[in-house]
Amino acid sequence: MTVERINTLVVGAGQAGIAMSEHLGKAGVPHLVLERSRIAERWRSERWDSLVANGPAWHDRFPNLEFSCDPDAFAGKEEVADYLVAYARKIDAPVRTGVEVRKVTRLKGRRGFRVETGDGVIEAVNVVAATGPFQKPVIPPVIPESAGIAQMHSSAYRNPGDLAPGAVLVVGAGSSGVQIADELNRAGRKVFLSVGPHDRPPRSYRGRDFVWWLGVLGLWDMAAPAPGTEHVTIAVSGARGGETVDFRQLAAQGVTLLGRTSSFAGGAVGFDDDLTRNVNAGDANHDGMLDAADAYIAANGLDLPEEPEARNRLPDPECMTNPVRSLNLRDAGIGTVIWATGFGQDYSWIEADVCDERGRPRHQRGVSPVQGIYFIGLPWLSRRGSTFIWGVWHDAKYIADQIAIQNGYAAYTAKAPAMTEPA
């Protein structure tokens, strides 16, 4: 059996794998990108139909190619996928699609890995896992199948017409949950939205999009989440040209807000008594960003228009003053529960000690303690921006650099005379 050999094998051709290929190419590292499906597959088949990028096109992109749409617009999911395909073509990335990586094991007695794929075996000195920050849908085990209600993860939702008739309970108020709840409500569905802790930055303030504010305030570069806030999700939306997510506004439009989903008994879902606390904390996060922006404008003498109305707040809706703590699914006419509760990761295909006891990859800025294994695209890999299109490009540059450095050490052959025993 012939075994193909390559210095560096990149697994996955989403934005992370493409960015990796660009930087490995620039560093002169021979490499190959294997993708089990199509380039940017998750943008094509694991997102809902109407999804647009959360950031404007001028920002959510790689540095060396602009989107063809208006730079201030929010590219649709297919446009994002097309952009990544065009980018791969532009840099002539050596991508092989339709080839799954099934197992990676260390070679015995020499540097490198044996990689079993759906199309034969490859030996690689380095393996970069670019298989995504959001791989496996996570649905908390709250409502049993025996409840007889249609349940799906947000990654399986496509559009309102696809759902069973009736009201919808959306669990999770990050960017996916709020956008799906809003879309269903606008489509005439009765919507219940379970709201956990979240940040909700203003979409724009004083003439600048929030991506610009996070940039100039150094918040994209934050190296780690604030202690205790690791699970705080961020609620932003580029839908309809981009609007600030405002839970009071959603309630005014007819969405019933609920606290965190916590239990199920006798056909009824139970919710924590934390709705008001969560909404108020989100408001504080929103206002904190306005304060930081105002301070930045003052300190830098910028001439940006005042926007006092950004601090206006609708009164607490009835669902906050008199929160629903229990909802009988049948009585409420709920036909579908959508879990917008995030994703997990699976690195079981790497048969080396690369993960901690909770299955999370161990690494420093993507460099694993197992020599030759690298991770790219993970949440907070080096900073807050690490999972975003533009952020992953910078992380890829660092990792390609580390691989080139190690290749340099490996290529070194000693020219110094051998040490002689002292007389």
Ligand X SMILES: Cc1cc2nc3c(=O)[nH]c(=O)nc-3n(C[C@H](O)[C@H](O)[C@H](O)COP(=O)(O)OP(=O)(O)OC[C@H]3O[C@@H](n4cnc5c(N)ncnc54)[C@H](O)[C@@H]3O)c2cc1C
Interface residues with ligand X (CB under 6 A) are 11-17, 34-37, 41-43, 47, 51, 53-55, 60, 100-101, 130-134, 176, 349, 377, 387-389, 392
**Closer to ligand X at the Cβ: 239 or 389?**
389
- Least distance (Å) between residue 316 CB and ligand X: 29
* Helices and strands, number each (H, E), in the chain: 9, 22
**Closer to ligand X at the Cβ: 52 or 327?**
52
**Closer to ligand X at the Cβ: 149 or 170?**
170
Six-digit token pair at 236? Answer: 């932003």
Contact at 8 Å (CB) between 335 and 164?
yes
- Least distance (Å) between residue 346 CB and ligand X: 8
**Closer to ligand X at the Cβ: 47 or 384?**
47
Q: How far is 389 from 373, CA to CA, in rounded Å? A: 22
Q: How far is 139 from 326, CA to CA, in rounded Å? A: 20
Q: How far is 187 from 192, CA to CA, in rounded Å? A: 14
- Least distance (Å) between residue 46 CB and ligand X: 7
Q: How far is 314 from 52, CA to CA, in rounded Å? A: 27
List alpha helices for 27-171, DSSP H. 41-45, 77-90
**Closer to ligand X at the Cβ: 34 or 195?**
34
- Least distance (Å) between residue 52 CB and ligand X: 7
- Least distance (Å) between residue 93 CB and ligand X: 13
Contact at 8 Å (CB) between 346 and 136?
yes
**Closer to ligand X at the Cβ: 55 or 259?**
55
- Least distance (Å) between residue 37 CB and ligand X: 4
- Least distance (Å) between residue 174 CB and ligand X: 9
Rounded to the nearest angstrom, the gap between the alpha carbon of residue 278 and the centroid of all alpha carbons in its chain is: 22
The DSSP symbol for 54 reads S
- Find residue 31's DSSP bridge partners: 8
Q: Hey, is 37 helix, strand or coil?
A: coil
The DSSP symbol for 69 reads S
**Closer to ligand X at the Cβ: 138 or 302?**
138
